[in-house]
Amino acid sequence: MRSVHVGIGPVTLSDVVAVGRDGAAVELTEEALAGIARARRVIEDLAAAPTPSYGVSTGFGALATRHIPPERRRDLQRSLVRSHAAGSGPEVEREVVRAMMLLRLSTLATGRTGVRPETAQLLADLLTHGITPVVHEYGSLGCSGDLSPLAHCALALLGEGEVRDSAGVLRPAADALAAAGLAPVELAEKEGLALINGTDGMLGMLLLALHDLRMLLRTADVTAAMSVEAQLGTDRVFAEELQALRPHPGQAASAANLRVLLTDSGVVASHRGPDCNRVQDAYSLRCAPQVHGAARDTVEHAAGVAGRELASAIDNPVVLLAADGSGRVESNGNFHGAPVGYVLDFLAIAVADVASMAERRTDRFLDRTRSHGLPPFLADDPGVDSGLMIAQYTQAGIVSELKRLAVPASVDSIPSSAMQEDHVSMGWAAGRKLRRAVDGLTRVLAIEAMAAARAVELRGTLGSTRGVSPSPAAGAVVRLLHEAGVAGPGPDRHLSPEIEACVELVRTGAVLAAAESVVGELG
């Protein structure tokens, strides 16, 4: 099993995917443990001082004016975690919870939070042993950070609440810890707050989405190329010299992919002669690089924000260290989720638009007045058979939902904590809806791939393109679908299992890999 090392520097997107999705183990470096210990000494000095220090010897939020005596401070930390673990609704996905735990551990490893080394180590041990706290859908306002989701994670460190073990079995946290040979911790000053005050949930969802969208947008180029080919579109509009007139990097990359994917297509070549008048294809074909490219550029903008967030040490209050080893604790507002919330919302807009264009390409296959000779609805015996008529309904329903999910969450704010926290980011909500949007895009592209594959096969048996070979890339995708049980043209059959098979092929990257196996890696 791969092991991810967490040090004083930031973890990477690939680390988050490895731990969150693939279950990689986690190890704290010696450098990180030393830094954690240095910051802890600062907290212990402040705890012993007569002057109150926020988060160390006071209450929290609107209760920050109360000084807490030393004998009640462990109660304070325990009460903080218990009370903040107030989520409700369905369980959050394992990969999101694990990503969130890793990101919180990464912040602890910066030596800016004041936790004890043993507390940070237990968090790493939970990840390594596959113990995943139960976190609920609702509870975070994205400010101060993702308090409730992180509190559910912190609760497991106390041996309280429910977790899923490495086999996915729901059990009490105390039992899962004992089975793994781990002992719960009793939180000391500042530790409860340090465990829950960060943007780690929304950031984890952003990073997982970035990983998926980079693959899905290349897959969208594959399905778009198949649609252009099967609808007898022209590849002239993707010429490099035309794309260079508008030098957006994402557009250039997408157009380059389309040129490669359409290379050696007998279908395209069959109508590329001087008498071809197909230079004004519909926008959903002609403008694919412009839309896919804008989405790519949005992804890279969001990746820049995510990179800066990964390099951050988000806590409140935060430990500031001097060169001589002394330090102090300062209150701040770095926990506000606005930077992450904004780009989560931005990505949802891009996802909806890419999916909307893919649905329009699919619809053109089904309309005999626009499909250039294909049978209505790609049916075997139109009238008796309905072909892919209702598959497009499924696409349309998903696209409609994606448009609703594109409404930004980050423009909303509901004051909380007796008006102390009077402006919040709703970044967690933006992350939740982006996850649904990414799933929707996956399904829309899967149905386009199914329709385009069927149309490509029909082109080989119809009219002027009879017997003409498709591009190698399209041929590879058609073969992949057949191997997965997605049959070609023919009488109607139960369609839902074939759609789900296509969804899985898109989700896992298999459609992209099939195309790349014959044309090389796409940009």
Instruction: Give the active site residues.
Output: 54
Closest CA to 153 of 185, 181, 179, 188: 185
* CB neighbourhood size of 79 (10 A): 15
> 435: exposed, middle or buried (C-beta count within 10 Å: 0-12, 13-18, 19+)?
buried
Q: How far from 18 is each of 15, 26, 96, CA to CA, in Å?
A: 5, 10, 12
Give me the residues paired with residue 4 across strands.
26
Token pair 């073969």 is at which residue? 479
The angle formed by the CA atoms of residues 89, 92 and 94, to the nearest 5 degrees, is 150
Q: At what angle do helices 117-128 and 30-48 cross, to 10 degrees?
A: 140
> 381: exposed, middle or buried (C-beta count within 10 Å: 0-12, 13-18, 19+)?
exposed
CA atoms of 98 and 101, how far apart (whole Å): 5
Using DSSP, state whether 56 is helix, strand or coil: coil
Tokens of 6: 């967490």
Largest CA distance in the chain: 90
Q: How far from 412 is each of 105, 333, 402, 438, CA to CA, in Å?
A: 29, 18, 19, 22
